[in-house]
Structures are given as C-alpha cells and as structure tokens.
Chains A and B, each alone.
Chain A
C-alpha cells in the first residue's frame, strides 16, 4: 500500500481551556476526495490549520506524504483555499499571480498564469486591481492562485461561502478536474449536497471529534444526512 497523502493520529488541540479538537484520527490516500462535514465551531478550520502546518497540535501527530507538514517540500505540495483571499487588493491579478509564482518557483510561470486565469475566466481582468473585483471574482482568483503551483494536496475550507451560483459551478468543475488529475482533496463544508456530489468519502466531525467515517458510494445519502443532523442535534442545534 502506498504512503498515505495525509495521516492524522490522535490529534487534539486546545486553546487554554477551550477544546478545539479531541483525539482525531484518520488517513487519506493519494487521489482521494474527502469531505469533512460539521457545523460551525466543530473544529474543521482548526484541523485544516494543523494539517497545513500553520498551527501545532497540542497532542498527536500529522504526516503529509509520510513526513512533517512543516517541511518545505510538503508546503510546496500543498494549497489552501478558504474564505480568506490570500491576495493583495492593491496589486493586479497578474501581479498577484506573478508574486506567488516566484514564491513557489513555478516553472514556465507566464504560461501557467495564463492557463489558470483562463480556467477561472479572469483573463480579461488580469490588469485590474484586485480591490476592484467582486466577491465572486476575488474567490475565483483565489482558486487560480491556489492551483498555480499544481499542488498534490488541496485543502478547502468552506470554499463556497459567499459565492454566486456561477462561481460555485465553476469551482465544482475545477475541483472535478483536479480529482480526475489524481490530486488529493480535503474539503470542509456544511453543504451536504455539494459534499456528496464531489467526494469519495466523508467524515462527520462533532463535538471536536470524528463521529462518522464512510464511503459515499456505500452510504445512502439519507444516512449521511442523518449522521450530519444527528451530530447537530447532539450539539444542541435544532
């Protein structure tokens, strides 16, 4: 069996007296698309921060491709898309992408920039300042920035938040393409419909721990819905 793209073992995280994660254990195989479902505050973003190496777990370990997530080689294989833009409003789309292509040492940068801009349909606005973009356009450029260095592992933290239908459709198409290309994708969301449509596998996180881990094909969508909503009921959300 190949080395897992991601291996999370007994990870806990607390911020003083506040517990964010408790004994989270799971692994993701290369090329797998996994959705982490859970209500707001369940610990999804904290988990992604630990996986990406931005935050350290209080207990437990995380390995990306068999090594430490903070390793420079691993960081180059990783991309994060969240509600944060990771873009500079006072630079144009092209300048932002050129900046990140230098940081990530993207080979044939200009060609790659043209490709990702075309993929997110922003070629015609490449010379405009990002500050003048709408929310949807900004999120599309965020996606372009994340895909620029062709990452092996994509971490998506509620990427559909605030997007219009057109942008959601475009993101879904891009994610399907990434999946076909064999990229490993980890998506956190509370949108059950999108998660079941895109993923191979789902995890339900509730009260800061994983309460359900299953394959989408083996599970009736109603069962997933039931697992998700029962976790919400447990946490006092009607």
Chain B
C-alpha cells in the first residue's frame, strides 16, 4: 500500500543527497542566525538560556520554510506535479512520501545544527537533554505535516513563498509556541511529568494535521 510513498521518499532523498541543496542552504541560514544573535547581544548566561529555545526554533522554522518550498518546487519543474496528478495512486500516498522526505531532511538538518547551537550558546550537555528528542520530533512533525500540504497548495501560485508563509504561520504557531516552551524546559532542566500534557497536545495536533492532509491531498493535486 505504501510502496508509492517509499518510492517518492527514496527519489527525494536521492536527489537531496546528490545536490545537498536544501540541507546546505538550511544549515548556512541557521548558522547565520546563531552567529548574528550570539555576537549582537551581550547577555548573561541566564538570559541566554531564556532566549535560546526561541532562537533554536526560529532557525528550525525559517530553514524549514526553505525546505518546504524546495520540496514542491522541484516537482513543478519539468511538469512533474502534473505527472503526480496522473499517477494511478491514492493522493494520500503521494502526501506521505513528500511528508516523510521533508521531515527526514529537516530532522537531519536539526541533528547537524544542534551541536553548533550547543557550542555557540555554551549549553551544558546532560542526560536530561535526551528529552529534546521527542520534543523536536513532535514539533517538527507538526510543522512538516501541515507545511507539506500547504506547500502543495502554494506551488500552484506565482507568489509561492509568500502564500506558504501566510497560510502556514497562523495554523502552525500553537505547535511552535508549545515546542519553544517544552525546549526551554528541557534546556533549563525543568522537564518534569507536569510537562507531558503539553507534549501530548503537540502530538495530538500532529495526528490531526497529518490525518486531514492525508485525506485532502487528492483534491490539491487537481487543477
């Protein structure tokens, strides 16, 4: 059933590893954000700890926008978006393939940029930081599940990047705000059981966004 999704995923990752276009651009962009903020503000470590989660997610989200735009731009090139609409498969499978490729690329980028973030903001590694894994995973999935379908909508228009931002930001902001809060709790070592309902809430939004997008994707592919 999911063979189409895996074929699309394999194709997208092969193209990305060959060109490294998205991941490199995302990495450089995030590095710039960290450098600028690090050298612009002379603040104490305590203040830095407070703004660091927000900075991290600013880097993730702005870079993620680039990845989302890229994901369907490469399909629009050479008419492959039309080829997708002609495929004898359920649109949901195409959505899953694109969602997985965007999510994997974004998670790889996050794994590559996180050590730089630790170094720049002089954060101390601890076992508790492993709790960042579910937080980043849940936040990223929420962002990409919604971003993938909206990117497919926006790619049909001339002002693709503007439209994607306009559509995505209002809907995804609760997930980003909760993810920033949770990241702050992990980095300051305050991640307790009381934080889990917030993580569950992010997870619930992920499920809702993913399910709706899966069901609606067939209509998006039509002219």
Decide if B14 touches A86 in the complex (CB within 8 Å).
Answer: no
Task: List residues of chain B with CB within 8 A of the CB of A124.
Answer: none
Contact B14 A95 (CB under 8 A): yes
Give the chain A neighbours of B87 by CB distance below 8 A: 75, 103-104
> Does chain B have a CB within 8 A of A73?
yes
Contact call B15/A104, Cβ cutoff below 8 A: no
Residue of chain A at shortest CB distance from B221: A54
B79 touches A85 (CB 8 A): yes
Given known A91-B11, A99-B7, A103-B7, contact A84–B82 (CB-CB < 8 A):
yes
Interface residues of B in 15-65 (CB under 8 A from A): 15, 18-19
A52 interface residue (CB < 8 Å to B): yes
Q: Are B78 and A86 in contact (CB under 8 A)?
A: yes
Report which of A72, A82, A102 forms a contact with B79, defined as CB distance below 8 A.
Answer: A82
Q: Is A47 an interface residue (CB 8 A)?
A: no
With a cutoff of 8 Å between Cβ atoms, the chain A residues found around residue B82 in the complex are: 54, 80, 84, 86
Kindly provide the distance from the CB of A168 to the nearest chain B CB, expressed in whole angstroms: 21
Asked whether, in the complex, the Cβ of A84 is within 8 Å of the Cβ of B222, the reply is no
Q: How many residues of B contact A (CB 8 A)?
A: 24
B4 proximity list for chain A (CB < 8 A): 102-103
- Tell me if A89 counts as interface (CB < 8 A to partner B): yes
Interface presence of A34 (CB below 8 A): no
Q: Does B80 have its Cβ within 8 Å of any Cβ on chain A?
A: yes
Cβ contact within 8 Å between A88 and B78: yes
Chain A 73-105 per-residue mask, 1 if CB under 8 angstroms from chain B, else 0: 111101010101111111100010001001111
Kindly supply a per-residue 1/0 record for chain B positions 68-85, scoring 1 wherever the CB is within 8 Å of any chain A CB and 0 otherwise: 000000100111101101
**In chain B between 156 and 193, which residues have their CB closer than 8 angstroms to a CB of chain A?**
none
* Alpha-carbon separation in the docked complex, A105 to B7 (Å): 11
| Measured CA separation A104–B222 after assembly (Å) | 19
Chain A residues with CB below 8 A from B3, complex form: 102, 105
Residues of A within 8 A of B78 (CB): 84-89
A-B contact pairs, 20 of them (CB 8 A): A53-B86, A54-B222, A55-B222, A56-B222, A72-B89, A75-B88, A80-B82, A82-B79, A84-B78, A86-B80, A87-B80, A88-B11, A88-B15, A90-B74, A95-B14, A103-B7, A103-B87, A103-B88, A104-B88, A105-B3
A-B residue pairs, 7 tightest by C-beta: A84-B79, A76-B88, A75-B88, A86-B83, A55-B223, A85-B78, A102-B7
